[in-house]
């Protein structure tokens, strides 16, 4: 069964010319059908407990992936990218979709018999022109190869928080970059996380100092349903943003290789000059090593999760503090994930659960809090106001989140409840006919309003 967002390609800034109107299939994340939270007037009447009702097939269970294993699949690959400017003038980079398709076609020719799990289905959706440009297919693909317009809105919101230019923020400059752990739910091309990584490297290098071992550093946790999305767009985009912070001379040296570099890392072969231009970069062993060295030197950790969200996702080691084993997330970013009535409650309840269970040692930026409480949390949810045909909308998300947080006092024994600790504000974006909004969910742990 297919749905349509109801938008044409003209509504999107970075689709290829041959993209038709976006077709959407039902999400792989779904709730038991005997539970409903909408009445005839589209208002929420009862919380779903969606995380407990979630059905996840074995092949879609969440899995952790480390950076080294993903980078090893990209060694020797030449990637093409382009730069984009957000509505507020921030420059970001993104691997081109045609380049991803090209790599997949080569890999399919070389390893056709070795493909596992959902990869074949994902590859067909991306490569086969007869797939009607489906951007989402149940249990197969969650749309992560493309960049959606709300991710650019999120980048602009993050930039305001980093620079302290938001009129409602009394935080010190770059406080967001000092957050210990940031989770991007449904990252896809991960432009918001890439922007944070870019700003982190820029701020440290501008100060000409390394992060000391006592500093909290920065931990980015990126989740997407599809492993291939993490491998083919998420990590390449992170790498490109890092590469933009090093000198042209160093980048040229790191992307030049020798005939035997890929075999033993030596320099005895004939030197091959990489074709380095503004929109292309060769991923060499030297480039990978320098990337990992900089991450280590600046105390930056990158973690990756594929598969479905839910209670099992929340309990993964990547979400928890290594010392306390408690959930340790300071900031949650999620863009274009509340498009349907299937995913909307999962996103809402995940934010609520993660923040309520987070470690008391966390440090986060608070949009609306004038008190420097180090147990504050912040979620930024970017979405279109209405997703035609699939049921998701901004108002449904806000109603649902309000319902599940206000009922906390009835469900728990503690009188100082998080329903009173959540502060929600909405920033509308009206720069086009496609109405969009940013939702800021500010959580004050141990705080009663």
Distance CA 329, CA 423 (A): 17
Compute the residue count for the chain.
449
* pLDDT at residue 254 is higher than 90: yes
Q: How confident is the model at residue 411 (pLDDT cuts 50, 70, 90)?
A: very low
CA quadruple 190, 192, 193, 194: dihedral, nearest 10: 80
**What is the pairing mode between strands 2-4 and 78-85?**
unpaired
Q: What is the pLDDT of residues 77-95, one digit of tens each?
A: 999 999 999 999 999 999 9
Residue 127: what are its φ and ψ, rounded to 5°? Answer: -95, -40
6: left (phi over 0), alpha (psi -120 to 50) or beta: left
Domains of the chain, with CATH numbers? 50-95+143-444 (3.40.50.150)
User: Tokens 């939702």 belong to which residue?
Assistant: 439
Q: Which helix (H) or strand (E) holds 253?
A: helix 248-254
Whole-angstrom Cα distance, residue 176 to residue 331? 9
User: Which among 329, 367, 336, 368 is positioned nearest to 350, based on CA atoms?
Assistant: 329
Q: Are 92 and 83 within 8 A, CB to CB?
A: yes
User: Residue 15 CB: number of other CB atoms within 10 A?
Assistant: 18
pLDDT at 125 > cutoff 90: no
Burial bucket for residue 17 (CB in 10 Å: 0-12, 13-18, 19+): exposed
Determine contact, residues 378/440, Cβ cutoff 8 Å. Answer: yes
pLDDT interval class at 318 (50, 70, 90): confident
Other beta carbons within 10 angstroms of residue 325's beta carbon come to 10
Query: Which has the minimum average pLDDT: 14-23, 273-282, 327-336, 406-415?
Result: 14-23
341 or 283, which is more confident = 283
Q: What is the pLDDT of residue 278?
A: 66
Exposed / middle / buried, residue 308 (Cβ in 10 Å: 0-12, 13-18, 19+): buried
- Tell me the three state secondary structure of residue 164: coil
- The model carries a pTM of 0.79
The mean per-residue pLDDT over the stretch 148-165 comes to: 90
Task: For residues 226 and 218, give the distance between their C-alpha atoms in angstroms, rounded to a whole number.
Answer: 24
φ, ψ of residue 12 to 5 degrees: the values are -115, 145
Of 371, 363, 397, give the one whose Cα is nearest residue 382.
Answer: 397
Mean pLDDT lowest for which of 104-113, 150-159, 221-230, 349-358?
104-113
Cβ pair 182, 145 in contact under 8 A: no
């Amino acid at each position: 069964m297919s749905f349509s967002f109801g938008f044409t390609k003209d509504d999107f800034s970075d689709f290829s010319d041959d993209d038709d109107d976006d077709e959407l299939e039902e999400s792989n994340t779904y709730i038991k059908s005997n539970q409903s939270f909408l009445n005839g007037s589209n208002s929420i009447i009862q919380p779903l407990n969606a995380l407990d009702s979630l059905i996840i097939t074995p092949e879609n269970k969440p899995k952790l992936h480390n950076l080294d294993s993903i980078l090893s699949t990209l060694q020797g690959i030449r990637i093409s990218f382009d730069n984009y400017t957000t509505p507020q003038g921030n420059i970001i980079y993104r691997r081109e979709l045609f380049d991803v398709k090209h790599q997949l076609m080569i890999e399919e020719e070389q390893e056709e018999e070795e493909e596992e799990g959902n990869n074949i289905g994902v590859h067909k959706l991306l490569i086969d022109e007869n797939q009607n440009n489906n951007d989402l297919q149940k249990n197969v693909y969650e749309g992560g190869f493309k960049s959606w317009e709300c991710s650019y809105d999120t980048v602009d919101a993050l930039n305001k928080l980093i620079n302290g230019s938001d009129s409602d923020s009394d935080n010190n400059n770059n406080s967001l970059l000092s957050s210990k752990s940031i989770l991007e739910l449904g990252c896809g091309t991960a432009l918001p996380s890439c922007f944070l990584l870019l700003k982190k490297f820029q701020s440290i290098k501008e100060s000409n100092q390394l992060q000391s071992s006592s500093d909290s550093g920065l931990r980015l946790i990126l989740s997407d349903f599809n492993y291939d999305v993490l491998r083919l767009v998420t990590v390449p985009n992170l790498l490109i943003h890092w590469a933009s912070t090093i000198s042209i001379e160093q980048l040229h040296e790191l992307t030049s290789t020798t005939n035997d570099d890929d075999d033993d890392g030596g320099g005895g072969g004939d030197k091959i000059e990489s074709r380095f231009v503004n929109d292309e970069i060769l991923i060499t062993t030297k480039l990978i090593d320098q990337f990992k060295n900089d991450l280590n030197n600046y105390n930056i950790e990158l973690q990756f999760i594929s598969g479905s969200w839910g209670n099992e996702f929340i309990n993964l080691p990547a979400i928890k503090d290594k010392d306390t084993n408690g959930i340790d997330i300071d900031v949650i970013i999620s863009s274009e994930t509340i498009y349907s009535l299937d995913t909307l409650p999962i996103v809402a309840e995940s934010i609520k659960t993660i923040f309520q269970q987070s470690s008391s040692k966390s440090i986060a930026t608070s949009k609306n809090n004038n008190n420097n409480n180090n147990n504050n949390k912040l979620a930024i949810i970017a979405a279109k106001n209405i997703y035609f045909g699939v049921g998701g909308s901004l108002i449904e998300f806000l109603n649902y989140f309000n319902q599940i947080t206000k009922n906390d006092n009835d469900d728990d024994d503690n009188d100082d409840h998080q329903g009173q600790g959540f502060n929600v504000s909405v920033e509308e974006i009206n720069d086009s006919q496609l109405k969009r909004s940013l939702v800021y969910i500010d959580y004050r742990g141990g705080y009663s309003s």
